[in-house]
Structure 1
Amino acid sequence: MDSPLSGLAWLDRNKERPDSTADWLRRLAIGDIELTHEAFHSLEPWRAAAHLRELLMSCGVLPAVDKRICSLERWLIGHLADIPDPDHAQVVRRFATWEVLPRLRTSSQKKPITPAARRHAADQVKQATAFLTWLAARDHTLGTCGQTGIDAWHTEQNEYTRNTMRAFLLWCSASKLTRPFRLPPVHIRRATPMPQPERLELIGQLLTDPDLPLRTRVAGVIVLLYAQPLSRVVRLTLDDVGHSNDQTFLRLGEPPSPVPEPLAELLHRWISSRDNMNTATNHASRWLFPGRRAGQPMHPDALAALINDIGIPTTAGRTAAIRQHVLEMPAPVVAEALGYHRVTTAKLASEAGGNWSRYAAGDHWRSPPGWTPQSNA
């Protein structure tokens, strides 16, 4: 830390209390608390425990695990304890252990779990619990539930609940916990894009209004210009910002995307004045948007709140941006440069009426010659 005294003051605060950080460190040292992730699940207050756990992971003392998987595991202990029916609790535990958590762990090996994915996983567990309660209220169990019961449940639920419950119902069917049944197809609603003139006006406002916070301006333009979701924006690092022949580039895919000069100036100014850099939490952090938790970037929900507060609808703006890109460039090029799946951009291009359908992407997209990553500010 640049100021060790502040860290010592943090450790010294309430050190006599049994739930203080100093007490936890003492108990870890003498073996009273096991140095495992499972041991941290039961520590209260959980926010302080999560902060200490992340500090220990960033130092290499604990194995690195996606923090949102840790959060779900801690939440699951309390949720299972609150289920009054032991048979229901057993089914929900099996579903979470063999279906929900393995899927999240597999996803975390490819990219960090987003807050939305963490919430969705918890909602799947909660809806599974609610479904078992719904069956019991009608004197049914999973074993006696068939197509009639599934249809009756579907008619009472909204679209989100039906989609959230789909994984549990399919797992029950595959595990032969229910009678055979069929599920209706999933309906996916796409966000309505904002009009192109409105998007351009908002970009201009972010680039020119000095009264707006610098962090919000930079993040907002990345969303509106490059069609990036905030869950991806917060994972950008200084190594994703580079230079080639006096041109600034931002690596969102391959090739890196050129950054126009008004944004380039804001971007470099933000890099030299980033927040949350004065404590051990993110000392010498490489995150473009450092967070308040050890080794972690800013939470996408927190960044979304800042952007929404100045009147920018991030989802509608991102949708408008990606649709405009596939109209102006071949969908495969857009997919590679902006980090989208090719199938996604191809569908968007078809819906938007793009005329690049006969374009065949090659493998010649590379970083610009002389690419140099951003040095640490």
Structure 2
Amino acid sequence: MQSRRCRRTLSIPAMKVSRRAALSEDERLDALGRLLTDAEIPMRLRVAGVIVLLYAQPVSRIVRLSVNDVIRDGDTVLLRLGEPASPVPAPVAALLLEHIANRDNMNTATNPASCWLFPGRRAGQPFRPDHLSALLNEVGVPAAAARGAAIRQQLLELPGPVVADALGYHDKTTSRLIRETGGTWSRYAPGDHARSPTGWLPRESSDS
């Protein structure tokens, strides 16, 4: 405006963002079953996809997980996403532990001691989230749509504060999603929800 190269009034159109709707529950469970059983899918994509479909984690957070976030307590395997750590169902635990033992990008001279759950090709760096998201989409797991389905299903089954603490979500986010999904926990009593219910497990495909 100062250089008189445009008019005094300038209208900037709003950016349009198109997002795919969340997967249906049947689609989510179908994708989960395929990742657990299809050995043709690369292991890292199977594990990353299961974390999205079960625990509603964004890819940007998944690539920042380390092997130290996978906790073994006797025969129980836990995944630290929030507080408390989330229990991992047996079929998923076996897949997760196999992945840790055979992670990609660990044989280069610059990356032999990487602690990332999903090591990248660059020394000391995790897998790139944009690349992981694209690869998941190629195997039929659109990350945003899958995460939306997972978090909504969790909120239909558990109180928002419990889900927020365990999966690392903000309370305002889970409260908004509860309203959108018509969840039954909208009047859940506030208080200390640091501990998840005894025996809580994310839904498995065999439970449907």
TM value normalised by structure 1: 0.49
Q: Name which of 38, 52, 68 aligns with 1:239.
A: 68
Letter in 2 for 1:334: V
- 1:297 Cα deviation (Å)? 0.3
- 1:223 Cα deviation (Å)? 0.6
Aligned to 2:195: 365
**Residue 207 of structure 1 pairs with residue 28 of structure 2:** no
- Rounded Cα–Cα distance in structure 2 between residues aligned with 1:328 and 1:314: 21
**Residue 333 of structure 1 pairs with residue 157 of structure 2:** no
Structure 1 pair 327/363, CA: closer, same or farther in 2 (3 Å)?
closer
**Residue 137 of structure 1 pairs with residue 13 of structure 2:** no
Higher Cα Rg: structure 1 or 2?
1
Q: Name which of 95, 103, 106 aligns with 1:266.
A: 95
Offset from partner CA, 1:295-327 (integer Å, 9 cap, x none): 110001111122111121111110011111111
Letter in 2 for 1:192: A
**Residue 319 of structure 1 pairs with residue 167 of structure 2:** no
Asked whether the equivalents of residues 191 and 319 of structure 1 are also in contact (C-alpha less than 8 Å), the reply is no
Offset from partner CA, 1:128-183 (integer Å, 9 cap, x none): xxxx79x8432x5xxxx5xxx1xx413xx2425xxxxxxxxxxxxxxxxxxxxxxx
- 1:211 Cα deviation (Å)? 1.3
Q: Which runs of 5+ in 1 are unaligned?
A: 1-131, 161-187, 369-377
Percent identical residues: 54
- 1:361 Cα deviation (Å)? 3.7
Q: How does 1:116-135 map to 2 (within 5 A)?
A: none
Structure 1 pair 319/245, CA: closer, same or farther in 2 (3 Å)?
same
Letter in 2 for 1:247: T
- Rounded Cα–Cα distance in structure 2 between residues aligned with 1:305 and 1:317: 13
Q: How does 1:1-377 map to 2 (within 5 A)?
A: 136-138=4-6, 145=8, 149=9, 152-154=10-12, 157-160=13-16, 192-359=21-188, 360-365=190-195
- 1:365 Cα deviation (Å)? 2.2
Asked whether the equivalents of residues 333 and 361 of structure 1 are also in contact (C-alpha less than 8 Å), the reply is no
- Rounded Cα–Cα distance in structure 1 between residues aligned with 2:117 and 2:73: 19
- Rounded Cα–Cα distance in structure 1 between residues aligned with 2:32 and 2:84: 23
Offset from partner CA, 1:79-119 (integer Å, 9 cap, x none): xxxxxxxxxxxxxxxxxxxxxxxxxxxxxxxxxxxxxxxxx
Aligned to 1:243, what secondary structure does the other structure show? strand
- Rounded Cα–Cα distance in structure 1 between residues aligned with 2:20 and 2:135: 20
Aligned to 1:55: none
Asked whether the equivalents of residues 83 and 194 of structure 2 are also in contact (C-alpha less than 8 Å), the reply is no
- Rounded Cα–Cα distance in structure 2 between residues aligned with 1:256 and 1:191: 30
Q: Which runs of 5+ in 2 are unaligned?
A: 199-208
- Rounded Cα–Cα distance in structure 2 between residues aligned with 1:191 and 1:326: 20
Offset from partner CA, 1:32-51 (integer Å, 9 cap, x none): xxxxxxxxxxxxxxxxxxxx
- Rounded Cα–Cα distance in structure 2 between residues aligned with 1:219 and 1:198: 17
- 1:190 Cα deviation (Å)? 6.7
Letter in 2 for 1:296: Q
Letter in 2 for 1:326: L
Aligned to 1:153, what secondary structure does the other structure show? coil
Higher RCO (CA-CA < 8 Å; seq separation 6+): 2
Structure 1 pair 280/201, CA: closer, same or farther in 2 (3 Å)?
same
- 1:294 Cα deviation (Å)? 1.9
Aligned to 1:242, what secondary structure does the other structure show? strand
- Rounded Cα–Cα distance in structure 1 between residues aligned with 2:18 and 2:178: 17
Structure 1 pair 323/137, CA: closer, same or farther in 2 (3 Å)?
same
Two-structure CA RMSD over aligned residues (Å): 2.2
- Rounded Cα–Cα distance in structure 1 between residues aligned with 2:184 and 2:193: 21
